[in-house]
Amino acid sequence: MNRLLVALLAAFDAVLAVAVGLVAALAPLTLLWIFGFGADAPWVGLWPAAGRIWQLGHLVPLAVSLPEEFTVPLGIDAAAASFTVSLAPLALTVFTAVFAFRSGARAAAAGAWVVGVLTGAVVVVAAAAAVLATTANDIAAVEPWQAVALPALVYTVPALAGAVSAAWRDGDDGVVDSVRVVLDRRGGAWSEVPGLIARGTAIVLMALIGVGALLIAAAVLLRGSQIIALFQSAQVDALGASVFTVGHLAYLPTFVVWAVSFIAGPGFAVGLDTVVSPVGTQVGLLPGIPVLGALPESPSPWLLLLALLPVAAGALAGWTARSQLVRDRAGVPGPEPMGARVVVTLGIALLSGAGAALLAAVASGSIGPGTLASVGPDPGPLALTVGLEAAIGAAVLLLSPRGRDEPDAALESVQRAPEPAPTTEPIPVVFDATPDPRRDDGIAGPEATAERGSRPPVD
């Protein structure tokens, strides 16, 4: 495909991703403006508020300074009127990342992934700069470089990942294919090692996210009464309950990452000097946010068994990689390559830990003054535990020797002797030339007729 056309399509993808994200932030605010403040309320603050929500959803911290006309009637201390909000609603982040990944993959399929990724990055930088220039206000301020660079990174990194993965799978006649040629020259299974590491890492992280979502669902079902009680204690009307619900949905991916950290072992914080983990829960006075009602009050020792789930995820990744290695070596004599299996195991462990650290970094931050300045999981401990657990599971399947009674697919296809083709001996045919007593012409029966090649007469 023409590079100019690829660039235009990539630019359209980037504009669409930014526009949909802004609309997702603007639509609920518009309804809140109409039903909460009335149609006569000034609309001048609607767009800045939507822009700030979009920026926060793309990991841009907000420096909030509440005015006196708001803090004095509510009795808020002046020291608590200024704080930072950096805990991102990851629903917007996930949408942009998924959209960018698909755009990068399409650019790679068109044969110009470098042009597509660079074009998308430039368009997002321009859009983020436009949002920054038009959303200035006195309540929530942002650092200009963060407001431009962080949304661009949220889009560019997944787009690059999608492009490279598609190019590695289908080829690009460029840098990726050059890397494959270098690995092919080493011989053996080395050309498949990067793909196996990437696939195994994706399996580990996706499995952890899946079990984290299941844990959230189970917690909501088991502690639904506490969540409803917090809704009721807030004493909000239907509009306020709707705002709470939309906010919870926006932060749902964030809570899933918290659940992943709980499953892995380190747990997460809901404020300074607090921890929620399978070992124990230590929290102080919590804000009346309904979702916090799902936190366990006294964890059971049986919850420590949840740490086996990351090990199982690593084992699944190791089994997938081992199976692929066996299939690729079908028909190749010699033992399985131990070096490649060791590298795949270490690669899955390291990248899984790095991915977990990235998830923890984007799912932690500040949501208010005082103790609320630190919430979410700590990237370091989560990276260490996930990496070790994934390494144990992957090593069990990748590094263990084959059993004696387990056939080696690579050798079996070579050593198996070809089966001889089935032979058939000619079956002698005995013709009965005895005259048929039912005939009066003295001609032999049907057998003799068949021998002469003529069709027997029909009685």
Residues 96, 16 contacting (CB under 8 angstroms): no
Q: What is the pTM of this model?
A: 0.83
Query: Residue 367 pairs with which residues in a beta bridge?
Result: none
* SS percent in the chain: helix, strand, coil, step 5: 65, 5, 30
The DSSP letter of residue 430 is: -
Contacts by 271-277, CB closer than 8 A, 24 or more apart: 271/371, 271/372, 271/373, 271/374, 271/375, 272/370, 272/371, 272/373, 272/374, 273/371, 274/371
pLDDT tens-place values along the chain, 459 residues long: 678 899 999 999 999 999 999 999 998 888 888 877 766 667 777 899 999 999 999 999 999 888 777 766 666 776 777 889 999 999 999 999 999 999 999 998 888 889 999 999 999 999 999 999 999 888 899 999 999 999 999 999 999 999 998 888 887 777 777 877 777 776 666 778 888 999 999 999 999 999 999 999 999 998 888 888 888 887 777 777 788 888 889 999 999 999 999 999 899 998 888 888 888 888 877 777 888 888 887 777 788 888 899 999 999 999 998 888 777 666 555 566 788 889 999 999 999 999 999 999 999 999 888 788 889 999 999 999 999 999 999 999 888 876 544 444 444 444 444 555 555 555 554 445 455 544 444 444 444 444 444 444 444
How many CA atoms are closer than 13 Å to the CA of 280, on its beta-carbon side?
Answer: 3
The DSSP letter of residue 434 is: S
Phi, psi of 164 (to 5 degrees): -70, -40
Burial class (CB in 10 A: 0-12, 13-18, 19+), 368: middle
